[in-house]
Structure 1
Amino acid sequence: MSWLRALKATARSGLTVERRRLEPLVAARAALGLALVVGATLALFGPGAAISSAFGAFQAAIATFQRSWRPRPTLALASGASLAVSTFLGYVTGAGSHPALFLALLAVWTFLSGLAWAAGPTVGIIASSNVAMMLVTVTLPTSVAEAAGHAAMIAVGGLVQAALVVLLPVRRWGAQRDALADALAAEADYARRLRHDPTAAFDPVPLMTARSAAAVTPRQARRRPAELHGARGLAERIRPVLASLADPAVGASAEGPARDQVRELLAAAASVQDAAAHAIRHGEPVDLPPAAVAALRTPDTGALLGGAPRRAAVRLAALLDDVVETADPRTETRTEPGTEPGIGPGTEPGTGSRTESGTRSRTESTAQARARPTLLRLTPVVLARMRAELRPDSPVLRHAVRVTAVTATGYVLGSALPLGHGYWAPMASVMVMRPDFSQTYSRSVARFGGTLVGVALATAVVEVADPGVYASAALAVACAFGMYLLMRTGYAASQVCVSAYVVFLLGMGGSAWTQTVFERVVLTLVGGVLAMLAYAVYPAWETPRLRGRLADWLVTDGRYAASVVAHYADPAGPVCADVREALLATRATRIAWQEALDRATHEPVRHRGLSRAAADDAEHALAQFGRVAMLMEAHLPERGAPPVPAAATLAEALRRSTERGGKAVRERRAPEWDELRETVAACAPLLEDPLLRKGAGLLLDALDDLSESLTPNPAPQPHP
């Protein structure tokens, strides 16, 4: 993509306003916290302290809106405390009397905030915001004692926001409920698509998001609602069963009565999972559609389906029964599964006991909870991640260097220009800069556009109404409410409110509006231009790293397939820890590949050996490879089943060949699979399980497709 097209695309993205579900109650609670803090400090200590406390409460509320699974009060307290420390240290180093010393602190603080992105976007955003707010708040005190008072007021602002989250809860566990419900709804959509496309792809992001949401601190584990226990693990196990039931390669034939029965079962599974998702999202009892229950209970399943499809149908019914039982808030987890009639048969035909999948799924899913460390225990982990990024090829290190250079340059330039309020240039830079190109450029455009509109609107209000101190405070709170409400609709929309908020807030402290309009617009433009120039001069392009991302996905896909095949040689039942870990690893690398590909789409650089068409074909091939491994996982032999010794040889060949293939991809060569082909040919007569034998061939076909996608097209030969 050329630079012109890249700039157009990022500008369009930055100015886009998306339609998102608004949360007015949460926004009103955040604005109430800001109003309480500003009103109390304004009445008790005057405008200066009110501005400091307002910044603390404003920033703490923003922290509670971040996409984090930690308790919201914890985020508010951490944000308020860190901003208070930043402000006090900034003043002590001499923001006014010793600008060189303050500039050194600013550079160190900004560099650390850039490295903080290694710990995730929530930590990175809070750290960057602290630098931006510090640039303003250090200009307010006039003595060390007053600086300590301002820092205390900032911390109080965070404390008030945390207290309001506890005292005025809005939809407790709402984010976790939405994540789990989204995972079940995604599987319901997958089941419906399988009815028409038996090899449809599945996006693992909802399941991985639900997995992240399921990690809780010890205190959260004691308070988590019962319906949030176990359903995610069941959803994880349903997905391969759905795929194996639908795929003609291992399931029912492509046409005929058996296929019609499979379509009916898939539709019923989708309806049941949608009902469970709705119940979890709203904390209501599960309302099952009668038609879906009837379809899962029909006795025709055993007559029309046989072999692997029949086992998949029975296992699906048992798992769905467990999902409904787990998702219903009225139901306590039972130690004896099957004590009440479920939605499906829950037994293997001809036996009187529930399937192993149904029995284990609930007991294993509900007995264990993923642990999330507390903030104190997380600190050494974050520091270790930051140290790990201190290498020349790290995008996070490049971001830290860029943002440090730009912030220092912007501060010096803003101080030298005869405009006043010189901190607005570095503040704009640090707020728009992100580790990737598209976000940095789109946010720069959005911030300038939002600033222009917000300042113009605030200026018009000030000219017409001439508000006093308390009226300015009320207008600032109103603008903050608008920012909280529109935060997730787009950066441009929120910046309109933020710009007006800052104008009214500084006006409350005595700054005339004429001192903020022109300077803020010009210096915001300067900060945005510096950020964009810095990325162009010292970039961290994702495009050259695409082959490495693809190689990582290939290697983890190979390990997953090898782990699955190895359990045919040593049957351990459908629940295997090593298979689970390998599956999570391949999902993580797949998501990393997809995110990198999305970022690379808008970069103004050449593909460097991996065109978009080749990337799409390679992605499809590896997705098919993973799907075949998932089908084989869905039919892992039960514990005690006869082992298949040749499967161990095949598993080792898969692991070894994909690791060599990953190295070839990194070296810009098309991987070769001769050894694996020979192993498959030699083992095929010894693989007694038809699914295993057919799966080995399908895995090899997918790898051949990968090599073909990465092989450069030969130049056309001229006609004689």
Structure 2
Amino acid sequence: MSDGGAVARSLAAVLATTVLTLLWVSGPAALWVAGAGAVAGAIALQDSPGGRISRVGIVAVQMGAAVFLGALTASLDIVFVAVVALWCFAAGLQWAVGGNAGLVGAGASALLVVAPPLAPTAASVLVPTLLTVLAGGVQAALIAMWPPQRWRTQRDALSDAYRALADEARQIGADGSSPTTEILDPSLRDAFIDTQASRRPEAYHGGHRPPERIMATLRALRESPGVNDEDVSRMAAAAAEVLDAIAGQDHTARRDTEHGLIRLDATVALLSGPEEELAQRLSRQLHEVAKLRFPDLNRADLISPVRTTVDVIRSHMTLTSPILRHAIRLSAAAALGVAADRFAPVAHGHWIALTVLMVLRPETAHTYTRCVGRLTGIAGGIVAASVIAWLLHPTGAVAVVLAAACLAVTYAVHRTGYIAGSAALAAATVFLLDIDAVTSGATLEDRLFSVIIGGGLAVVAHVALPDHALTRLHQRAGELLKSEIDYAATVVKAYVHEIDHQADTVTTAWQRAYRARAGFEAASGATRMETRELRRWLRSYRTALNAVTASCTALEDSLPPHPPTALTRDFVAAVDDYVDALRGAPPTPATPWTVDVAALTAAAQQVRDRAAGVSGDDGAVRVLVSEIASITRSLAGIASISEPISAG
């Protein structure tokens, strides 16, 4: 759940800008402003320690472009259908960049397909376009003035750690011969222990490790023979300035960090001898931390996001790419939906294209199951919203208030599953469309009839252009790997932490892995096995995953009802690091799940090293260390298996 205060401010801005537009401009413009504000607000609330403003600005421009095209071409039916087809094709390709980018493309497409068929004038085209961009700008301004307080504990812990490291660096610069002290608070690690580690922003994945690595480098620098040299002192003072800037929370922190890194690099270039290597290592570590703290720092892909996006999309312009096939499906289904709205006797047929946009995803696994699930959620949300509309007959400002309330519900339930999220989003869409007199007035039967047609178009699009067989197999293999990793992480974590309903949690993780294995075997059975390369890959992949499953089963059989009392704090922290490395981070929709073998191997070695400090003869600890090593070897073996590029 996003920060409640940030959500409230975002929805209040949507409410205010929409009502003002409704009073002073027109209903269609208010509908577009509400939709653009909701999408831009959702992007602004994404977990990230930096780079929000530029992303929201890009979203606002994209929303404005969709509104401009809609207002300009909506009165020309054939031209409008062609514009929708081209726009939705480009929106489908945005999934190559990431899930959020793909959903933004779907949101912009929704603003396009609901454009009323009114003759364009300069005012009716330019004013809504500018107001739409302004609605996104308001969301960017809110995030700039009041950043969300999510991850405040982790952020404060990191700030304290970097300030302590700055003091240590400053002391080294003043007097390198002073004794070494333990300056990092032991509670730093506690701030980053979380069973949902994979949902954190990148900067907070194992966030305690960068300060610990910097501390080790500073200790080595203090013990070096030339620590009291003047050049080393200047370098240490420059490093302290960088650390203070990274720890800062004010609006000048990014600028101070950038300038501090330039000064640090200049002082490092003056060093020679044994301290040179340590200084270069410290500089690399501070650059890495700065990029995590400020993602847009010296990042060409964020400074020029359009160029980067084009490069990524260009790599998917092959017929075997799931992204390209999704773009073709989305374009065809949305265009057919708009054509049915314009040329067939379907009342309020814009719901057909809206349903296509809400249902279609570039999902290789569970495609039809999730299509049906989303359709069920959309239908349920429409029924609930229609009942409220039948009782209150909302229009104008009342519809805006109800839409904002449904958007708040969407934020609250989106973690519970895609069906509940689809229901809340569909209800919000009902009230958003009631803002404008042209799109309002639909009955329950009108909406459900169009939803059924839209869902049918989505399923038919998948049937007509399914994903490539080998792509489907790779995606299923990645899904199986992810579920096996989650199963292993759950069991390993249960050894060192108390877990509520431990047996049920472990059983649920195993059941997910079992279902994923069934899906993988079904995909492999439907794939042509004419090449020796593919058969060898399948055999090796199955063998490696069977070894992971065997290790998880052995761990589960030896799992104690409570964590052993002899465990040291360092050992528990090492196991937590291993779980973080095991879970990793999710890939883009265009790539299967993978494993960071280097990070996993290093974390496993740390577990073995810390296990030596556990007192007593505890069999559970020996089993845990042994099976962690086995899981690591198996996953490293999976990563070394080269995937075939042809099924036959």
Please say whether Structure 1 and Structure 2 have the same fold, judged by a TM-score greater than 0.5. Answer: yes
Structure number with larger C-alpha Rg: 1
1:420 to 328, 344, 347: 347
CA–CA separation in structure 2 for the residues paired with 1:127 and 1:700: 39
- Residue of structure 2 equivalent to 1:47: 27
- Residue of structure 1 equivalent to 2:410: 483
1:134-156 per-residue CA deviation (whole Å, 9 max, x = no partner) reads 10135467534212212122112
Instruction: Report the AA paired with residue 165 of structure 1.
Output: I
- Residue of structure 2 equivalent to 1:95: 74
- Residue of structure 2 equivalent to 1:350: none
Instruction: Report the AA paired with residue 274 of structure 1.
Output: R
Please state how far the C-alpha of 1:159 moved relative to its aligned partner. Answer: 1.2
Please state how far the C-alpha of 1:101 moved relative to its aligned partner. Answer: 1.4
**Structure 2 residue 5 is the aligned partner of structure 1 residue 32:** no
Q: 1:446 to 1:324 in 2, by over 3 A?
A: farther
Instruction: Report the AA paired with residue 90 of structure 2.
Output: L
- Residue of structure 1 equivalent to 2:525: 606
Q: 1:358 to 1:403 in 2, by over 3 A?
A: same
Instruction: Report the AA paired with residue 365 of structure 1.
Output: Q
CA–CA separation in structure 1 for the residues paired with 2:59 and 2:49: 15
2:126 to 145, 148, 166: 148
**Structure 2 residue 371 is the aligned partner of structure 1 residue 444:** yes
Contact 2:27 2:436 in 1 (8 A): yes
Q: 1:270 to 1:461 in 2, by over 3 A?
A: same
CA–CA separation in structure 2 for the residues paired with 1:166 and 1:632: 37
Q: 1:373 to 1:68 in 2, by over 3 A?
A: farther
Contact 1:438 1:603 in 2 (8 A): no
Please state how far the C-alpha of 1:487 moved relative to its aligned partner. Answer: 2.9
CA–CA separation in structure 2 for the residues paired with 1:705 and 1:456: 47
**Structure 2 residue 532 is the aligned partner of structure 1 residue 617:** no
Contact 2:364 2:472 in 1 (8 A): no
Please state how far the C-alpha of 1:503 moved relative to its aligned partner. Answer: 2.3
Please state how far the C-alpha of 1:444 moved relative to its aligned partner. Answer: 2.5
Contact 2:36 2:60 in 1 (8 A): yes
Contact 1:103 1:408 in 2 (8 A): yes
1:131-188 per-residue CA deviation (whole Å, 9 max, x = no partner) reads 122101354675342122121221121111111112222227769x58x99xxxxxxx
Question: Residues 152-551 of structure 1: matches in 2 within 5 Å?
Answer: 152-171=130-149, 177=154, 274-275=189-190, 277=192, 322=216, 362=282, 364-368=284-288, 369-370=290-291, 371-373=298-300, 375-438=302-365, 440-467=367-394, 469-510=396-437, 515-541=442-468, 546=473
- Residue of structure 2 equivalent to 1:554: none
Please state how far the C-alpha of 1:57 moved relative to its aligned partner. Answer: 0.9
Contact 2:71 2:124 in 1 (8 A): no
Contact 2:347 2:446 in 1 (8 A): yes
SS in 2 for 1:540: coil
- Residue of structure 1 equivalent to 2:180: none
Instruction: Report the AA paired with residue 95 of structure 1.
Output: A
CA–CA separation in structure 2 for the residues paired with 1:443 and 1:548: 16
Q: 1:129 to 1:468 in 2, by over 3 A?
A: closer
Contact 2:60 2:132 in 1 (8 A): yes
1:532-590 per-residue CA deviation (whole Å, 9 max, x = no partner) reads 22222211146566579999xxxxxxxxxxxxxxxxxxxxxxxxxxxxxxxxxxxxxxx
Please state how far the C-alpha of 1:278 moved relative to its aligned partner. Answer: 6.6
SS in 2 for 1:438: coil
Aligned pairs, how many? 450
Q: 1:523 to 1:612 in 2, by over 3 A?
A: farther
Instruction: Report the AA paired with residue 285 of structure 2.
Output: S
CA–CA separation in structure 2 for the residues paired with 1:606 and 1:599: 10
- Residue of structure 1 equivalent to 2:583: none
Q: 1:316 to 1:56 in 2, by over 3 A?
A: closer
User: TM-score scaled by structure 1?
Assistant: 0.52
Q: Which runs of 5+ in 2 are unaligned?
A: 166-183, 220-236, 244-273, 292-297, 479-512, 530-534, 552-594, 607-628
1:589-648 per-residue CA deviation (whole Å, 9 max, x = no partner) reads xxxxx9xx889649666264569886342347799995899479979xxxxxxxxxxxxx
Residue identity (%):
23
SS in 1 for 2:434: helix
- Residue of structure 2 equivalent to 1:718: none
Contact 1:91 1:147 in 2 (8 A): yes
Q: 1:115 to 1:366 in 2, by over 3 A?
A: same
CA–CA separation in structure 1 for the residues paired with 2:325 and 2:461: 10
Instruction: Report the AA paired with residue 192 of structure 2.
Output: A
Contact 1:47 1:509 in 2 (8 A): yes
1:211-267 per-residue CA deviation (whole Å, 9 max, x = no partner) reads xxxxxxxxxxxxx95857999xxxxxxxxxxxxxxxxxxxxxxxxxxxxxxxxxxxx
Instruction: Report the AA paired with residue 544 of structure 2.
Output: A
Q: 1:491 to 1:324 in 2, by over 3 A?
A: farther
